[in-house]
Amino acid sequence: MENKTLSQIEETFILHWGQMGVQWGINRTVAQVHALLYLSEEALNAEQICEILNVARSNVSTSLKELQGWGIVKKVARMGDKRDHFESLHDVWELARIILNERKKREIDPTREVLQQLASAAESDADTSADTAKRLKEMANFLDVSTTWFDRMNRMPPAALKAFIKLGGPGKSP
Amino acid sequence: MENKTLSQIEETFILHWGQMGVQWGINRTVAQVHALLYLSEEALNAEQICEILNVARSNVSTSLKELQGWGIVKKVARMGDKRDHFESLHDVWELARIILNERKKREIDPTREVLQQLASAAESDADTSADTAKRLKEMANFLDVSTTWFDRMNRMPPAALKAFIKLGGPGKSP
DNA sequence: CGGTAATTTCTGTATATTCAGAAATATGGA
DNA sequence: TCCATATTTCTGAATATACAGAAATTACCG
A173 is a domain residue: no
Q: Structural domain of residue B148, as residue ranges? A: 92-167
Angstrom distance (rounded) from CA A161 to CA B95? 26
Sign of CA dihedral B61, B63, B66, B68: negative
Domain finish residue from A88, A117, A146? A88
Mean pLDDT of A52-71: 91
Q: How far is CA B3 from CA A103, A119, B31, B49, in A?
A: 37, 24, 21, 10
Write the CB contacts of B122 (distance below 8 Å, at least 6 apart in sequence): A9, B128, B132, B133, B136, B137
Q: How confident is the model at residue A78 (pLDDT cuts 50, 70, 90)?
A: confident
Nearest residue on chain A to B143, judged by CA atoms? A92
Cβ–Cβ gap A92/B20 under 8 Å? no
B108 is a domain residue: yes
Angstrom distance (rounded) from CA B119 to CA B22? 32
Q: Is residue B44 domain-shared with residue B106, that is, in the same domain?
A: no
- A81: which strand partners? A78
B1 is a domain residue: no
Domain finish residue from A59, A88, A117? A88
Q: Mean pLDDT, chain B, as a whole number? A: 90
pLDDT of residue B2: 45
Q: Measured between beta carbons, which residues in chain A are less than 8 angstroms from residue B16?
A: 111, 114-115
pLDDT > 80? residue B4: no
A82 is a domain residue: yes
A1-42: pLDDT as tens digits:
345 788 999 999 999 999 888 888 888 999 999 999 999 988
Q: Is residue A158 domain-shared with residue A140, that is, in the same domain?
A: yes
Domain finish residue from A61, A88, A115? A88
Q: Is residue A76 domain-shared with residue A101, that is, in the same domain?
A: no
The three-state secondary structure class of B91 is coil
Q: Measured between beta carbons, which residues in chain B are less than 8 angstroms from residue A138?
A: 92
A58 is a domain residue: yes
B99 is a domain residue: yes
Eight-state DSSP code of residue B5: P
Q: How confident is the model at residue A93 (pLDDT cuts 50, 70, 90)?
A: very high
pLDDT > 90? residue A80: no
Q: Is residue A71 domain-shared with residue A83, that is, in the same domain?
A: yes
Q: Is residue A24 domain-shared with residue A49, that is, in the same domain?
A: yes
Eight-state DSSP code of residue B79: T
Cβ–Cβ gap A9/B136 under 8 Å? yes
Q: Is residue A126 domain-shared with residue A69, that is, in the same domain?
A: no
Nucleotides of chain D touched by protein CB (<7 A)? 5-10, 17-22, 27-29
pLDDT of residue B77: 87
Q: Is residue A80 domain-shared with residue A108, that is, in the same domain?
A: no
B134-144: pLDDT as tens digits:
999 999 999 99
CATH code for the domain in which residue B53 is found: 1.10.10.10
Q: Is residue B78 domain-shared with residue B99, that is, in the same domain?
A: no
Which range of A88-92, B21-25, B26-30, B163-167 scores highest in mean pLDDT? It is A88-92
Amino acid at B96: A
Q: Is residue A69 domain-shared with residue A114, that is, in the same domain?
A: no
Contact B117, B136 (CB under 8 A): no
Mean pLDDT of B1-24: 85
Interface residue of A4, A6, A8, A9 to substitute, partner B, most B CBs within 10 Å: A9
pLDDT of residue B140: 97
Q: Is residue A113 domain-shared with residue A43, that is, in the same domain?
A: no
Q: What are phi and psi of A55, to 5 degrees?
A: -125, 165
Q: What angle do CA A91, A94, A100 make, to 5 degrees?
A: 135
Q: Is residue B13 domain-shared with residue B84, that is, in the same domain?
A: yes
B47-66: pLDDT as tens digits:
999 999 999 999 999 999 99
A94-137: pLDDT as tens digits:
999 999 999 999 889 999 999 999 999 999 999 999 999 999 99
The three-state secondary structure class of A140 is helix
Q: Which of B25, B114, B152 sits opposite A23 (nearest CB)?
A: B25
Spatial distance from the CA of B37 to the C1' of D30 (Å): 35
Q: Which of A8, A96, A118 sits opposite B13 (nearest CB)?
A: A118
Angstrom distance (rounded) from CA A96 to CA B149? 14
Q: Is residue A83 domain-shared with residue A96, that is, in the same domain?
A: no
A133 is a domain residue: yes
Cβ–Cβ gap A24/B24 under 8 Å? yes
**What total of structural domains would you count in chain A?**
2
Nearest residue on chain A to B124, judged by CA atoms? A9
Q: How confident is the model at residue B146 (pLDDT cuts 50, 70, 90)?
A: very high
